[in-house]
Structure 1
Amino acid sequence: MVTYEHVFSKNYKSWAIHYREFDKQSNEFVIPITLSFGNMKLKDDFLDNKNIKAVDSYAIGFGFDGYEYLGSGFYLNMGVGISPGIESIEDKNEERNSRFLIGGSAKTGLLFVPFPDFGFVIGFNITGRLSNSSALSRSIGFGFESGFNF
């Protein structure tokens, strides 16, 4: 399964592309491996309070996403992961600093897979993140995702 996820939060917007193994035949709780790549941009009003002009973060994610079949194509989705990456911060004086970023995330939500062998997928989730970011070290966001199951 490949999906595109867009997360909205009070302080940031992010996107990610996920690849997940998906057991189409199982009605039991399944925990496949997930790989992802994404970007997070902090909102200007949040940055103004921190004397920062811009923050740009990119990360590669590794984790596990569990699925519990609820019926009629709906799955309860619960996942955890780690995300090493890079964060670039530009302050109000136009000085740019880059640093290694490491973070963790947990999420839960619903995933709708109407056709188990091949077809579209849509979902909604709540995501919590922790990281060593100098600008935003913890956050909660709401994500929407869509993609294809194959």
Structure 2
Amino acid sequence: MTERTGTFVVTHAEDESAVVRDVETAQVHTLSSNPGLEVHDVLEGTVAPEPPLEVAWEVVDVAERRTIELVDSDLEPTTHEKELAAGAEVGELIQEERAGTGEIHVFNLESDIEDAAQDVLEDEETVARAARLEAVRVEVRRSADDGVLSVRYLPD
């Protein structure tokens, strides 16, 4: 096996070890030590297999490290987000780039808004998507009255 350079999200962390997942390939690497990583940290860097068995990995280079903040907002989706949802089929995902960096995902849902919001906040893929989009904050907003759920991937 050879070194892997990329963007990794920490999916599990203990004092002595951690598990990271490559956000592009979804390949999982168990680290034999934990260099201070916590769940939802994003690591831009290089990992390499440890000899002789090359089963566990180690972090050999860190270009950048950040934490993804997940926010269950009490704010409603914006007027623009509600308009996007109004033009969508029920259950359809609308993706729109933000001005600058980031992205907004809007869902038109008839029911179960609270369950959907919790699913987004608990889904490991939400953090991986934020890492790919170079976001540091994910804000989930909802309006049960309108049946709209918005997920905002924000740079700061």
Q: Which has the larger radius of gyration?
A: 2
Specify if TM > 0.5.
Answer: no
Name whichever structure is richer in strand by fraction: 1
Which TM-score tier does this pair reach, normalised by the shorter chain?
under 0.3
Q: TM-score normalised to the size of structure 2?
A: 0.21
Name whichever structure is richer in helix by fraction: 2
